[in-house]
Amino acid sequence: MIIVSACLCGINCKYNGGNNLDVRVLKLMQEGKAIPVCPEQLGGMQTPRTPREIVKGNGEDVLMGKARILGSEGDDVTSEFIKGAYETLKIAVEVSASIAILKAGSPSCGVTQIYDGTFSRTKRSGNGVTAQLLISRGIKVYTEENLDRVKFD
């Protein structure tokens, strides 16, 4: 089984109330090969919500207590992001997921690149909180940007 960012399946859970539909990911869900998750909603955040970014670090730093996740208005939602990451991990374990396809750039789901915490749309190296947690548990994590690299077993 694969877990996928719900927004990639067309579910309106993106911070602004929209989605990031990717028909390839939607097809996986429709075929029963994927389970949609939204770590931010699983962490207790509502939709829509203000944009959030990892400030002074990356997902690993957040999990280690060395960085925070703040909203564009300064609200601290670090605990919600961590909760959502662990809830997503629980689902991944429950369905024996070995692969995750997550939304690129997201402070939860981004892989290899995330926004830099300045709310200037500038990206830097790093993984989001959920992506980092899944990777640390041996789950292969991809985004819609490198979906062609996924090896379905």
pLDDT tens readout for residues 55-75: 999 999 999 999 999 998 899
* Nearest C-alpha neighbor of 152 from the set 26, 14, 1, 4: 1
pLDDT tens column, 86-115 = 999 999 999 999 999 999 999 999 999 999
Per-residue pLDDT, 137: 98
DSSP secondary structure string for all residues of 58-73: -HHHHHTTS-EEEETT
**Predicted structure pTM score:** 0.95
Model confidence over 18-35: pLDDT tens digits? 999 999 999 999 999 999
